[in-house]
Amino acid sequence: MLSTVAAISLFLMAGSIVICTVRALIGPSAPDRIVALDTIGIILIGFIAILMIVQDTIAYAEVALVIAILAFIGSVAIAKFVEGGIVLDRDRH
């Protein structure tokens, strides 16, 4: 039962990643691409979590954390670039 549910979830998440990739490629504006890439990161975290349930292991827990951190920092960086055109500003005050 659980393995069937997990398999269905994995298929749905793989389809979601494909759809998000299409949005990130054709996205008319930059915010569309940012949200698509951030969503891919979040779906990947869920993917890894279900994979850990399927394989009955906790070996990938660090992987999920690292992907979460990198997706967060990437989103912040791209959002700052879209807002002001400059990622690391030298002197704000």
Partner 1 sequence: MKNTPIQLHVVTRIVAFIILIFSIFLFFAGHNNPGGGFIGGLMTASALVLLYLSFDLKTIKRVLPFDYAYVIGAGLLLATLTGVAGMFFGFPYLTQFFEYFQLPILGETELTTALPFDLGIYLVVVGFTLLVILTVAEDDS
Residues that bind partner 1 (CB under 8 A): 59, 62-63, 65-66, 69-70, 72-73, 76-77, 80, 87-93
Give the nearest distance from C-beta 74 to partner 1 in angstroms: 10
Q: How far apart are CA 80 and CA 36, in angstroms?
A: 16
Closer CB to partner 1, 43 or 67, in the complex: 67
Give the DSSP per-residue string, 49-78.
HHHHHHHT--TTHHHHHHHHHHHHHHHHHH
Closer CB to partner 1, 5 or 69, in the complex: 69
- State the helix-helix crossing angle for 61-84 and 30-55, rounded to 10 degrees: 180
Give the nearest distance from C-beta 70 to partner 1 in angstroms: 7
CB 44 within 8 A of CB 67: yes
Closer CB to partner 1, 26 or 82, in the complex: 82
